[in-house]
Structure 1
Amino acid sequence: MATFDYAEMQATAHELIEEFGQAGVVTRLTPPDPILGGEPVLTPYPATLVPMAYEARYIDGTAIMAGDMQIYISSIGLAIEPTVGDVVNANGTDYAIVAGDPHKFDGVTNVVFTVHGRAR
């Protein structure tokens, strides 16, 4: 049985996001060391992304609210895996990540990151 080339799918997703998307930033807040203390550290990671509004049929007012965005983020060139607690800047607005899906179908290759963002 032939294996599927997820790296090729990753490259295709990146090309589409690069063509139709925009430059953005994923910011991660690293909390202070629990023993040594200190200040939390905000680390920005440049990203290529496509923010898309949810269709009205998905907005239920609880899990998905009006104004929430579904953000597709290219995994190529992104040093982190976006997760809950991170903030994505797209269209000049900061979106807190409420949920995410790395689309790691083979358990290794992140084809694309899809996150649910809520305006802060």
Structure 2
Amino acid sequence: MATFDYAEMQATAHELIEEFGQSGVVTRLTPPDPILGGEPVPMPYPATLVPMAYEARYIDGTTIKAGDMQICISSVGLAIEPTVGDVVTANGIDYAIVNGDPNKYDGITAVVFIVQGRIPQ
């Protein structure tokens, strides 16, 4: 049985995001030192991404709210896997990640990260 080349699919997704997207940042707060304490430190990771507004038919006011953005983030060259709690900066606006899908169809290769971003209240 032939195997599917997810690395090729990842490269194609990256090319499309690079062509039609923009530069952005995924910021993760690193926890304070368990011994010395301190404040969490924001660690920015440069990313290439495409922010898209949700179509009205998907906005239910609970899971997806008005103003939420679906953000496709290229996995190529990104040092982290964006997750709930991270903040994505796109179009000069910070969006807190409230939901995400790494799109690891083979369980290993992240083809593209698709996250739901919400402007923090």
Q: TM (normalized to structure 1)?
A: 0.97
Pairing 1:15–2:2 present: no
C-alpha deviation, 1:38, in angstroms: 1.7
C-alpha deviation, 1:119, in angstroms: 1.1
Aligned counterpart, 2:109 = 109
How many aligned residue pairs are there? 120
Structure 1's unaligned 5+ residue stretches are none
Aligned counterpart, 2:90 = 90
Which 4+ residue blocks in structure 1 deviate beyond 3 angstroms?
A: none
Q: In the TM superposition, what are the counterparts of 1:9-88 in structure 2 within 5 Å? A: 9-88=9-88
C-alpha deviation, 1:39, in angstroms: 1.8
Residue identity in the other structure for 2:26: V
C-alpha deviation, 1:17, in angstroms: 0.2
Deviations 1:48-103 (A, max 9, x none): 00000000000000110000000000000100000000000001100000000000
The Cα RMSD (Å) is 0.7
SS at match of 1:13: helix
C-alpha deviation, 1:36, in angstroms: 2.8
Structure 2's unaligned 5+ residue stretches are none
SS at match of 2:37: coil
Pairing 1:118–2:109 present: no
**Aligned counterparts of 2:76 and 2:12: Cα–Cα separation in 1:** 11
